[in-house]
Amino acid sequence: MELIIVTPFPDLVQSPLNTSIIKRAQDKGIVDIKVIDLREYTTDKHRQVDDYPYGGGPGMILKPEPFFRVMDAIGKDSVPGQEVILLTPQGSRYDQSKAKELAGTERLIFLCGHYKGVDERVRELATQEISIGDYVLTGGELAALVIIDSVTRLQPGVISDYDSAMSDSFEAPGLDCAYYTRPEDYRGLKVPQVLLSGNHAEIKKWRTENALRRTRERRQDLIQSIQEQVD
């Protein structure tokens, strides 16, 4: 899987991409991640990627030319089925189902906005627009990293225990259950006895009930979504 980040601030993403699971995925050749400096596709001596908005108003807008030149160099249609993702608060809400969908794509290209936003014409390059939540970040780099992490861990061979990933929150319709490890008793906080019983049927039942209770307590919106699906 090829992942390409297009950003005017490449240093923002370098460290996370060279740490932990994402680094191991690259070392194994499972994912190939490239970071493209948008400023390398400018033509002026100051390498300017932004300008004032037409019509006035506060903030700076990222210019369209560097983005179009990047896509010309990459080849917008060079990989069948590739997705070009514009990270924007105006995009569709990212969730686990979208992560699974994108995880099956051969190439993902992330266009990272900054400042007040991007020139509207940049949207013509994108095949979809994604938001990771109803809040505003300084730029699209952190959102790109979130998506890259979530799709990378779904690639076969990245996580040694793939079944573990398949039992995470949002894989089933709701939150995951609580988990415990040693010691059995820490400062008076004890592991539920059923988890120490060795009775796999009872453990499965406890985990199912615990997950449902946690979902009801913490995410009523998910409970409503589950009920709507059943109805």
> With contact defined as beta carbons under 8 Å apart, do 80 and 125 qualify?
no
Parent domain of 186: 167-230
Tell me the three-class secondary structure of 131-157, residue by residue. ECCCCCCCECHHHHHHHHHHHHCCCCC
Are 127 and 224 contained in the same domain?
Answer: no
Express each pLDDT in 154-190 by its tens digit: 999 999 865 655 556 556 678 999 999 999 999 999 9
d(CA 160, CA 3): 21
Q: Which of 101, 124, 152 is the last residue of a domain?
A: 152
pLDDT for the residue 160: 80
pLDDT for the residue 17: 97
Number of Cβ within a 10 Å radius of residue 151: 22
Label the pairing between strands 2-7 and 32-37. parallel
Are 46 and 106 contained in the same domain?
Answer: yes
Are 32 and 110 contained in the same domain?
Answer: yes
In a domain, 159, yes or no: no
Express each pLDDT in 139-157 by its tens digit: 999 999 999 999 999 999 9
In a domain, 161, yes or no: no
In a domain, 30, yes or no: yes
Q: What is the pTM of this model?
A: 0.86
Are 66 and 172 contained in the same domain?
Answer: no
Looking up residue 191, the CATH number of its domain turns out to be 1.10.1270.20
Q: Is the pLDDT at 101 greater than 80, yes or no?
A: yes
> Regarding predicted confidence, which is higher, 220 or 40?
40
Q: Which amino acid is at 139?
A: G
Q: Tell me the CB-side half-sphere exposure of residue 178, using CA atoms within 13 A.
A: 12
> With contact defined as beta carbons under 8 Å apart, do 111 and 5 qualify?
no
Looking up residue 29, the CATH number of its domain turns out to be 3.40.1280.10
Express each pLDDT in 39-74 by its tens digit: 999 999 999 999 999 999 999 999 999 999 999 999
Quote the mean pLDDT of the chain.
92
